[in-house]
Amino acid sequence: MKCTARLIVLALLGVALATPSIAQWKWRDKDGRVQYSDRPPPPGVAEKDILSKPAGGRAVAVAPSSLTPVAPSAQPPAVRASDPQLEAKKKQQEQEDAAKRKAEEEKLAKTRAENCQRAKGYQRTLDDGIRIARTNEKGEREILDDAARAKEMERTKQIIASECG
């Protein structure tokens, strides 16, 4: 009993290991990439670019006509006919995508509106001449002088133009 089980396991292991090596072609395509397949390379591949062929003559020749794309009219009727479920899924996916885009646009519009309001409020503060204090990179408090205030006014005008326009 043990001997039979071992033989079965060894036979299955041998089949499993031998299967990937059946009819393996290896060639370099026109872009220089190495390609692997169980079918021979396309007719345009030079013999020098074929790196390995299957052993034992087990290769199956592929007729050039089988490599050409299938014309749409040659497709089976089941593929050409519209599937109501497929159409419904496609329509539902399009609606979901449109809803996502609309939600993202609304979120962006809301953010722009908030930025616009914030910039306009800051512009009013700068125009009123109120002293503005900031903390520098050392953690010290600095008051904006006239040059810094002018720079801030210009920067704020640019933000208003981009966010409110």
The encoded tokens of residue 11 equal 């036979």
Q: How far apart are CA 149 and CA 91, in angstroms?
A: 54
Query: According to the model, what pLDDT value does residue 63 have?
Result: 41
Query: According to the model, what pLDDT value does residue 157 have?
Result: 92
Burial class (CB in 10 A: 0-12, 13-18, 19+), 152: middle
Q: Do you know the residue count of the chain?
A: 165
Query: According to the model, what pLDDT value does residue 84 have?
Result: 87
Query: What is the residue extent of each domain of the chain?
Result: 23-54, 101-164
Question: Could you tell me the pTM of the whole model?
Answer: 0.43
Which segment of 23-37, 72-86, 94-108 scores lowest on mean pLDDT? 72-86
Question: Which of these, 80, 75, 76, 42, lies nearest to 61 by C-alpha position?
Answer: 42
Q: How far apart are CA 144 and CA 82, in angstroms?
A: 69
The predicted model gives 102-119 an average pLDDT of 92
How far the first Cα of the chain sits from its last, in Å, is 85
Query: According to the model, what pLDDT value does residue 120 have?
Result: 92
Question: Which of these, 7, 44, 16, lies nearest to 29 by C-alpha position?
Answer: 44
79 versus 142: the higher-pLDDT residue is: 142
4 versus 76: the higher-pLDDT residue is: 4
User: In which band, very low, low, confident or very high, does the pLDDT at 104 lie, cut at 50, 70 and 90?
Assistant: very high
Burial class (CB in 10 A: 0-12, 13-18, 19+), 24: middle
Task: Give the tens place of pLDDT for each residue, 18-76.
Answer: 555 555 889 898 888 999 888 888 888 888 888 888 876 544 444 444 444 545 555 55
User: In which band, very low, low, confident or very high, does the pLDDT at 13 lie, cut at 50, 70 and 90?
Assistant: low
User: In which band, very low, low, confident or very high, does the pLDDT at 108 lie, cut at 50, 70 and 90?
Assistant: very high
Q: What is the CA radius of gyration of the chain?
A: 35
